[in-house]
Amino acid sequence: MATSISEAQAARLKRFLAEEAKAEGFDIMAVTTPDAIPQAGARLRQYLASGHHGTMQWLEETLERRADPRVLWPEVRSVIMLAMNYGPESDPLPVLARRDRAAISVYAQNRDYHDIIKGKLKQIASRFAARAGSDVKVFVDTAPVMEKPLAEAAGIGWQGKHTNLVSRSHGSWLFLGSIFTTAEIAPDRPETDHCGSCRACLDICPTSAFPAPYQLDARRCISYLTIEHKGPIAPEFRKAMGNRIYGCDDCLAVCPWNKFAEAAHETKLKARDDLKAPRLETLLALDDTAFRALFSGSPVKRIGRDRFLRNVLIAAGNSGDAGLLPHVERLLGDPSPVVRGAAIWALSQLSEPRIFGEWRKKLTASERDVTVIDEWRMADCIIS
C-alpha cells in the first residue's frame, strides 16, 4: 500500500535519505520510479534469446521479476538507488604483464561487497522506514533487480558500451544497491549516454566478448569464464586469459571517465596487500582448507577451490615459468576432474615433450573421466 505524504514531506525525506547515504559511505543517492525502465524486459528477452547469457539460467528463471520491479514487489512506489565507489588506488592493468603473479579483479581484492552494501542499505532503510512510516525492501546484485537500468533512470550514470554503469563523477568503478519503498518520492532525472565515439572498452577486450557496442556475449567474457562457468575453460580462451584468475578489469580500467574517480574510501573495499598480485606458486599450493582461510569473507570463496585452481593453472600455463612445473605435476592427480584437466593443459605449455609423454603414459591408462581424457588428447596434439 502506497504511503501518502505531502510534497514538503517527500522533499524532507529525500534530504534525509541523502544524509543517511553519505553517512553510510555511499557516494551517490538518487530516486526513480518502478515503471522507469519499460524497455528493460524486451532487451533482456532479446539477450536471452541470443544465448549470450551462457549457463546463467537464473536470468531466465527470474525474467519477469527482473523486467518490472512491480512484479517483484507490487506495492513499490519509489526505487532508491545508491552507488558506492570502489575505485582502485592504482591502475590494475600493469599486473597483467607480471606473468608469475595472479590478477584478481579489483572488486574482489577484499571483502564481499554484497555483504558490505547490504548491511549499509539495511541501516538506511530501517531509519527511513521509521521516519517515513513506509514499508521498505533492500536488494543487492544477487536479487532479481536490473540495477544498472534503474541507476541510469535515476541519473546515477549510464550503461556504457561495455554494458557496465559509467558515472561522470566516478567512472566505471561503482557498486550499486537499491531500496524499494511504498513511499512516493519525487524521482530524479535520467542520465544520458556520454560514451560518444569512444570504443576503448570494446577494443581492449582480450576475447572479443562484445559483438557490438552495448552488447556482451558472456560466453566469451573472462569474468564469466573464471567465475560463473563451472566446467573446463574452452581452449580458444585459455591464452587470452593470461594471468587473470578471477574476473577481468580491462574494459572498466580503460574507461576515460575514470579520470574523475577517486580511490575507494571504504576500508573494506580497499585492496588487501596479499590479494593485489599474489604469486601463482603460492596459489597453486592451496588445499581446500587453505583456500577457504585465504579467501574468508571474499567473493572469490564462492567459486570454490576447484574452479579457482582451474583458473590458476591456466595462468600457470601462460606464465612461461618452468619453475611452476612441480606444482602443476602434483595437481595432475587431484581428485577434481576440472583441476586435473587444467593441470594437463598447463603441463603441455610448460614441459618438454619427453616429460609430458612420461606423465601421459603414467596417467592415461587409469583415467576414467571423459573430459580429462579429452584434455590429454588435445594436449598431445599441441605438444607433438
Domain that holds residue 54: 1-278
Q: Do 166 and 283 fall into the same domain?
A: no
Q: Is 273 annotated as a binding residue?
A: no
Last residue of a domain, one of 212, 244, 278: 278
Q: Do 12 and 137 fall into the same domain?
A: yes
Q: Do 153 and 85 fall into the same domain?
A: yes
Q: Do 220 and 356 fall into the same domain?
A: no
Three cell numbers, residue 347: 603441463
Residue 189 exposed, middle or buried by CB count within 10 Å (0-12, 13-18, 19+): exposed
Angle, helices 353-363/337-350, rounded to nearest 10 degrees: 150
Q: Do 39 and 13 fall into the same domain?
A: yes
Q: Do 206 and 257 fall into the same domain?
A: yes
Q: Do 284 and 175 fall into the same domain?
A: no
Q: Do 25 and 162 fall into the same domain?
A: yes
Q: How high is the pLDDT of residue 262? A: 85
197 compared with 261, residue with greater pLDDT: 197
Q: Is 251 annotated as a binding residue?
A: yes
CB 251 within 8 A of CB 171: no
Last residue of a domain, one of 222, 244, 278: 278
Q: Do 273 and 292 fall into the same domain?
A: no
Q: Is 381 annotated as a binding residue?
A: no
Residue 151 predicted with pLDDT over 80: yes
Q: Is 141 annotated as a binding residue?
A: yes
- Tens digits of residue pLDDT in 199-251: 999 999 999 999 999 999 999 999 999 999 999 999 999 999 999 999 999 99
Residue 382 predicted with pLDDT over 80: no
pTM (2 d.p.)? 0.94
Q: How many domains does the chain have?
A: 2
Residue 1 predicted with pLDDT over 60: no
DSSP code of residue 222: H
- Tens digits of residue pLDDT in 253-288: 999 999 998 888 888 889 999 999 999 999 999 999
Q: Do 244 and 284 fall into the same domain?
A: no
Last residue of a domain, one of 259, 278, 297: 278
Residue 112 predicted with pLDDT over 70: yes
The C-alpha atoms of residue 178 and residue 162 are separated, in whole angstroms, by 22
Q: Is 176 annotated as a binding residue?
A: yes
Q: Do 231 and 338 fall into the same domain?
A: no
Supply the mean pLDDT for the chain. Answer: 94
Q: Do 284 and 271 fall into the same domain?
A: no
Catalytic residues: 141
Provide CB contacts within 8 A for 353, sequence distance 6+: 383, 384
